[in-house]
Amino acid sequence: MKIYKVVLCLVGTCCLLALNARIAYSQEKAAASTVQVHMVITDQSFSDSAEIPALRPETVQVKQGKNILKIDQLIPAKGDNAALQLFILIDDTCDPGIGTNLNDIRDFINAQPASTVVGVAYMSNATFQITQNFTDDHALAAKALRLPRGTSSSMDSPYLSLISLVKSWPEQKVRREVLMITDGIDRLRGERSTGGQMSSRGRYSPASYTMPTISPDSDTASTTSQRYGVIVHSIYATGAGRLGRNAWEATLGQSGVGKIADETGGEYYALGTQNAVSFKPYLERLQRVFDNQYYLVFRAAPGKKDGLQRVNIATQFANADVAAANNIWVPVGK
């Protein structure tokens, strides 16, 4: 009887050890199948007048599909971690009437902390021209602002200009954000009516018309920004000329730029299809965004090759919200 009990005990111990080994192996395998990534998120309250609760790792949830991911760190973007690279990107097709708002932008630049470096560039001909590269001399950056030229060509696209800027931006593990001033109208690839034509045989072909849609390059601009971890914010400004006064085109432009801001975790500010009297309220809200950002470090499951993976970031606080990019770039683990 005693021998039976000893044997039974040994069998039970072996089973327990095997189970523990299996669990340890499963955990090790799961850990090995994930890659550490990081992104910048913004802590926000539902109301501007409400206090923003401070986030902690246990109050944030990251999901990739149905899987809840492991959070390694949640670091406030303050103190030694407050570095921010901010590009002010102004569309040269904007009506020069926004000149009265430039002082608001200058005040905003000058009020930035020493940890923020600012660059200024103007968009035209599907690319950009830098008037001031990144500098911590905020007065110098503010001085680089000028009136937009208020001219346009068939080559103007704020989306291609943004893509060009993001791809030429050296990657660093600091906050990288863009503030675009634009109407969002794609003058390069926007689909519009074509006038009637007379053929060589004297036959008249009536005008054809394709219903305008959001620029196809807005998707590319969004995914490119997410690929390189750049958050895009934007303020609407009326474009020059007849096209800039077209409410339908302006609405489509707003939709394109607003889409990029939303999908990269940024903010979009507009007062219908007209210029705001002052940019100051928008810029004050944007500063609040900068003041409540975090680096979120977590482990994500890669695909078969390097690529963007959809993630969802949420907080358990009932009166708070988290703004974050829709996707994170996940390299294949080595």
Q: How much is the mean pLDDT over the chain?
A: 87
Residue 6 in domain: no
Residue 94 in domain: yes
278: domain range?
79-189+210-290
Where is pLDDT greater, at 279 or 1? Answer: 279
Spatial distance between the Cα atoms of 163 and 136, rounded to a whole number of angstroms = 24
Residue 41 in domain: no
Give the pLDDT of residue 201: 60
Give the pLDDT of residue 62: 97
Task: Note the pLDDT tens digit of each residue in 48-86.
Answer: 777 888 999 999 999 999 999 999 999 999 999 999 999
Where is pLDDT greater, at 290 or 318? Answer: 290
Task: Note the pLDDT tens digit of each residue in 250-305.
Answer: 899 999 999 999 999 999 999 988 889 999 999 999 999 999 999 999 999 999 99
Task: Note the pLDDT tens digit of each residue in 207-228.
Answer: 555 666 889 999 999 999 999 9
Where is pLDDT greater, at 15 or 133? Answer: 133
| Biggest CA-to-CA distance, the chain | 112
Q: Do the beta carbons of residue 232 and residue 184 sit within 8 Å? A: no
Q: What's the distance, CA 331 to chain centroid?
A: 19
Q: What is the CATH number of the domain that holds 214?
A: 3.40.50.410
User: Beta strands 293-300 and 35-45: pairing type?
Assistant: antiparallel
With a pLDDT cut of 90, the percent of the chain lying above it is 66
Spatial distance between the Cα atoms of 213 and 252, rounded to a whole number of angstroms = 7
Give the pLDDT of residue 273: 87
Where is pLDDT greater, at 151 or 104? Answer: 104
Q: Do the beta carbons of residue 272 and residue 9 sit within 8 Å? A: no
Residue 84 in domain: yes
Residue 49 in domain: no
Give the pLDDT of residue 83: 98
Give the pLDDT of residue 205: 58
How far from 39 is each of 31, 92, 103, 266, CA to CA, in Å? 20, 31, 32, 13
Residue 21 in domain: no
Give the pLDDT of residue 155: 84
Spatial distance between the Cα atoms of 128 and 141, rounded to a whole number of angstroms = 16
Give the pLDDT of residue 206: 60
Task: Note the pLDDT tens digit of each residue in 179-188.
Answer: 999 999 998 8
What's the pLDDT band for 232 if we cut at 50, 70, 90?
Answer: very high
Give the pLDDT of residue 208: 54
State the residue for tokens 């990251």.
Answer: 62
Give the pLDDT of residue 198: 56
Give the pLDDT of residue 235: 98
Q: Do the beta carbons of residue 328 and residue 41 sit within 8 Å? A: no
Q: For the chain, what is the domain count? A: 1
Residue 57 in domain: no
Residue 50 in domain: no
Both tokens assigned to 290: 């900068």
